[in-house]
A and B are shown apart, each in its own frame.
Chain A
Amino acid sequence: MTLTLAGVGYRYAGASRPSLLDVDLELPDGTVVGLVGPSEAGKTTLCLVASGLAPRTVGGQIRGRILLDGEDVDAWPMHRLSARIGIGFENPATQLSQVAGTVFEEVAFGPMNLGVSRDEVVERTWEAMATMRIVDLAERDPARLSGGQQQLVAMAGLLAMRPAHLVLDEPTAQLDPAGTRLVGEAIARLAAGGASILVAEQKTDLLAEVADRVVVISDGRILFAGPADETLADPRLVEAGVAEPAPVRLRRAAEAGGVDPARLVVPVDA
């Protein structure tokens, strides 16, 4: 299933100018698309629009079309869309449902809401927890986990819905280095397994590892896009206000310093 945004614009309720304009984006099966841009560029807004939360849950107005495999989803209610597109957020704690005493119940929350059979709920829950490698956390209280672990639980909760696409809005932004590593590895595993993910990130190193394509957004519009390694090495990236991945920065520094990057001990191929 391909998720397509065509000519999409979005304006928050009561805002004088739109937060997104003329956005064209495609997320085919099995692709990981990275979304980068400076703060307030519209990354979060784009994630909300792609998942359907904007305008359904957060209000505001939209223009353009959003299609799932060519079908316009404008009239789809949020619960129907949530079974096709899962969205994860920055703050791990506010994604917890607060009604689950154990991680198992937390992950099962989504499928329970969908009304599938009980056996189906149980099977999906174990499967999602296995993918995120949190089976041994099954009995733990989600409120007492670390930020990174909570983020994994949140993602497992999304996977249990069996969505066609995952949208992740800066999943490591509020995590410490250990948590960032945990979540980064999980995303890499999902990507290697053929998942379709749209991930907004400031940490371009993570995207360098997992993304197939990278889209650069600024001031509500898409500046440029392309294959990941090309886009991340593009000099316009820094101009747009985005920090380039470490290998790219090293190579540039080496070249600027007159050192042949091929002779550096640390490999600098992104």
Chain B
Amino acid sequence: MAGRVRLNDPHPARGLPDFLGRPGPTAVHRLNPLTKATLATVTAVAAVALGGLVGPILLVSVAVLVPAAVAHVLVRLLRTALLLALPIAVSAFLVNLFFFPGAERILLRLGPITASAEGLEFALQILVRILAISGAVTLFYLTTRPADLVVDLERRGISPRAAFVANASVQTVPAMVDRAAQITAAQRARGLDTEGSLWRRIRGILPIVGPVILGSIAEVEERTMALEARGFTRPGRRTLLWAPADAGIERLARWAMVAALVALIVSRVAGIWT
């Protein structure tokens, strides 16, 4: 074969490896990622739009807890969602309980601050809303691989460069944290003080910032060259190895969810329904 670098190791004919696009363990996992993303977003927005207590609680049961149970991730979901919501929930609860202006029905008086019944009601509403959002988002995160969602979007038409940015961002966050941890450990071994006096701690920060942030930016040039050497600048679509399956019924469900949400928002804004 003239004109190309010859490869002369014989190999058995193989197809697409089976570890690519492996379907998930449960029906929920196997849902199209866009469906799950739509579900999470619609649930979160609806939780805010519904207001009150009953609405969000019902919504969460149907849209978050039931699918989580089907996906066998209920326990993990509860733990992760509560963990995620905890700092906000505590703040929100306390702030609204105690600092609700114009409160009439006083429950408790602690020195200069008072807890009121109105504050309590409001605080509970906010709490339920936060838990709903947290649960919806966690369900998505637990049942979907981000790369799968990006592949699906790329199949539907977003540019390969946008897909690249999304995928690379997801990989870069843990990579950068690892690097910072590594550098911290290495610097500690060289006597860097991360405890101790304020001044020492401040002085200790800089040998870590430099390598991590500036080092990452310095790599941009090399990475750019490596990508362009692999044909990255070719305009248009690229070949995808696989894409998640999508069923007609899922498409219907997605549109239905969005339509229901729009109807909900319109009815609330127009005051038809409180």
Contact = CB atoms under 8 A, between A and B. Distances in A.
A and B touch in the complex (CB under 8 A): yes
A105 interface: yes
B229 A87 contact: yes
A121 B234 contact: no
Contact of A82 (B4, B230, B241): B230
Interface stretch (A18-26, A187-195, A201-209, A255-263): A187-195
A78 B15 contact: no
A143 B175 contact: yes
A82 B231 contact: yes
Interface stretch (A33-41, A96-104, A219-227): A96-104
Nearest to B6: A194
Nearest to A165: B5
A71 interface: no
A53 B225 contact: yes
B11 A126 contact: yes
Contacts of A77: 233
Given A104-B20, A115-B234, A190-B5, A94 B239 contact: no
Interface residues of B, number: 47
A57 to B, nearest CB: 5
Interface stretch (B25-33, B57-65, B216-224): B216-224
A250 interface: no
Interface of B: 2-11, 13-17, 19-20, 147, 160, 163-164, 167-168, 171-172, 175, 219, 221-234, 236-241
B233 A79 contact: yes
A113 interface: yes
A164 B4 CA distance: 4
Interface residues of A, number: 67
List 5 A-B pairs, minimum CB-CB distance, nearest first. Answer: A79-B234, A113-B231, A99-B167, A130-B11, A110-B230
Contacts of B7: 127-128, 130-131, 159, 193
A165 B2 CA distance: 11
Nearest to A154: B226
A115 B238 contact: yes
A57 B224 contact: yes
A166 B240 CA distance: 26
A252 interface: no
B4 A162 contact: yes
A29 interface: yes
30 contacts: A1-B3, A29-B2, A79-B231, A79-B232, A79-B234, A82-B229, A83-B231, A87-B225, A94-B226, A97-B230, A98-B172, A98-B175, A99-B163, A112-B240, A113-B238, A114-B231, A114-B239, A115-B238, A117-B239, A118-B241, A127-B7, A143-B175, A158-B230, A159-B5, A159-B7, A163-B4, A164-B3, A194-B6, A194-B8, A195-B5
